[in-house]
């Protein structure tokens, strides 16, 4: 009976020890190379911004606040609201206006272009979501250097699609390119018709119609047109919806993969007045609808925007309300409830992360105590 009681008490002791430790471990960052946690990224505009479903988090790279160009890599846990800066051995050089997309077939994030302080870049970088590492790809042929281009991942054809952007002489030509990660090749396409050259357009990949959708942008005048591009047929089509947002640049769009809708927010209007309107595009009916949530983020342009498919929220960070006001707030939008919520997580409320080594030592210590007690009791018999 004594030995049985010992094992019963031991089980209780293990449970009481491991439970709080496991609870603490749940707040431990998924990566060991953490530079800063429970902090807030610096205010910035035009960062690379994308959702990483492998680790269920949002990733941000670079951007600018006029005084500085950034080359930092941050991740956001949208459940806890915690931002974490990663300390990486290799990273792309500082830049703004670079665009990142998530390649779901290979579980990598692909970055192209941006302005590095002296010129418009034409480099291609890949971030492996499993190994937490940046790698420059160096393909034989690349699109000319540019930034603020439209770029999406076509999950049907396993290609990154790129259109137009801003280069050394202003808006570059209305060229269309496709990148194959597996062969590390860029290919310029040759559609018979294309939208006018532009930068700062909103863009998504629409899973229903299996096409790239772009809206608006600027090229010596703001646009309010909506176009789709089909990779398989190499065809651009102007969609001409009856109603649409006003002409804008540096507005942002994300594709809600759960509701199969495109969410559009903000942007700079022709009167140089940033907006905070929320619009929804439905490709099945080719229609735009303005939503009017009770609360919305302050007006802005050139912010980070992506869709978190696990929490089913569109997430926004930073941007600018015309210089010099640059922001670093984080907001989330729920399409089903038509509500915006600021993620104003306070670092003071953070649970203290538990080092896995401490957990291992604690559990081992409990095990040793159990063995010693059991041996002593057996000797008494």
Q: Are residues 202 and 83 in the same domain?
A: yes
Q: What is the pLDDT of residues 205-255, one digit of tens each?
A: 999 999 999 999 999 899 999 999 999 999 999 999 999 999 999 999 999
* Residues, the chain: 381
pLDDT digits (tens, 9 = 90+) for 13-71: 334 444 444 333 333 444 456 765 667 899 999 999 999 999 999 999 999 998 899 99
pLDDT at 271 over 50: yes
Distance, in Å, from the CA atom of 289 to the CA atom of 365, rounded to the nearest integer, reads: 61
Cα–Cα distance measured from residue 54 to residue 61, given in angstroms and rounded to the nearest whole number: 17
Pair (244, 186) in one structural domain: yes
Among 2-6, 109-113, 338-342, whose mean pLDDT is lowest? 2-6
- If asked whether residues 212 and 227 sit together in one domain, one would say yes
- What pLDDT does 32 receive? 53
Helix (H, G, I), strand (E, B) or coil at 318: strand
| 170-181 residue pLDDT tens | 888 899 999 999
Integer Cα distance of 65 and 45 in angstroms: 6
Cβ(53)–Cβ(102) below 8 Å: yes
Higher pLDDT, 258 or 381: 258
Based on the fold, state whether residues 12 and 65 are members of the same structural domain. no
Q: Which of 104, 191, 84, 99 is nearest to 154 (CA)?
A: 104
Give pLDDT, residue 175: 97
The pLDDT value recorded for residue 354 is 43
Residue 19: domain span: 2-24+356-380
Q: What is the CATH number of the domain that holds 157?
A: 2.120.10.80
User: Within this chain, do residues 181 and 50 fall inside the same structural domain, yes or no?
Assistant: yes
CA atoms within 13 A on the CB side of 343: 23
**pLDDT per position as a tens digit, 301-334:** 999 999 999 999 999 999 999 767 999 999 999 9
Task: Tell how many helices (H) and how many strands (E) occur in the chain.
Answer: 2, 29
Number of compact structural domains in the chain: 2
pTM for the structure as a whole: 0.84
* One domain for residues 33 and 45: yes
Q: Are 79 and 111 members of one domain?
A: yes
Give the pLDDT confidence score for residue 376 in this predicted structure: 47
């Amino acid at each position: 009976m004594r030995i049985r009681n010992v094992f019963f008490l031991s089980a209780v002791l293990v449970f009481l020890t491991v439970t709080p430790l496991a609870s603490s471990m749940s707040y431990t960052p998924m990566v060991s190379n953490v530079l800063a946690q429970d902090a807030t990224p610096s205010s910035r505009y035009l960062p690379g911004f994308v959702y990483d479903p492998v680790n269920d988090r949002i990733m941000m790279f670079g951007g600018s606040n006029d005084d500085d160009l950034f080359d930092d890599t941050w991740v956001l846990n949208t459940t806890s609201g915690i931002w974490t800066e990663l300390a990486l051995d290799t990273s792309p050089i500082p830049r703004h206006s670079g665009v990142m997309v998530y390649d779901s077939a290979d579980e990598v994030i692909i970055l192209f272009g941006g302005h590095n302080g002296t010129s418009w870049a034409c480099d291609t970088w890949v971030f492996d979501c499993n190994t937490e590492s940046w790698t420059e790809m160096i393909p034989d042929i690349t699109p000319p250097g540019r930034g603020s281009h439209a770029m999406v991942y076509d999950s049907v054809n396993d290609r990154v699609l790129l259109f137009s952007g801003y280069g050394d002489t202003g808006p570059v030509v209305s060229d269309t390119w496709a990148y194959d990660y597996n062969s590390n090749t860029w290919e310029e396409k040759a559609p018979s018709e294309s939208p006018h050259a532009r930068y700062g357009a909103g863009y998504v990949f629409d899973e229903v119609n299996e096409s790239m959708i772009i809206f608006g942008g600027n090229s010596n005048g703001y646009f309010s047109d909506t176009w789709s591009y089909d990779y398989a047929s190499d065809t651009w089509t102007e969609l001409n919806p009856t109603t649409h947002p006003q002409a804008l640049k540096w507005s942002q769009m994300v594709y809600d993969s759960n509701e199969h809708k495109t969410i559009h927010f903000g942007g700079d209007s022709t009167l140089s007045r940033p907006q905070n309107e929320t619009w929804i595009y439905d490709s099945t009916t080719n229609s735009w609808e303005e939503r009017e949530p009770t609360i919305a983020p302050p007006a802005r342009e050139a912010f980070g925007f992506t869709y978190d498919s696990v929490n089913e929220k569109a997430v926004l960070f930073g941007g600018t309300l015309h210089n010099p006001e640059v922001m670093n707030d984080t907001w989330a939008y729920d399409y089903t409830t038509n509500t915006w919520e600021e993620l104003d997580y306070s670092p003071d409320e953070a649970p203290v992360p538990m080092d896995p080594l401490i957990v291992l030592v604690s559990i081992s210590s409990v095990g040793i105590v159990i063995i010693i007690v059991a041996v002593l009791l057996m000797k008494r018999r």
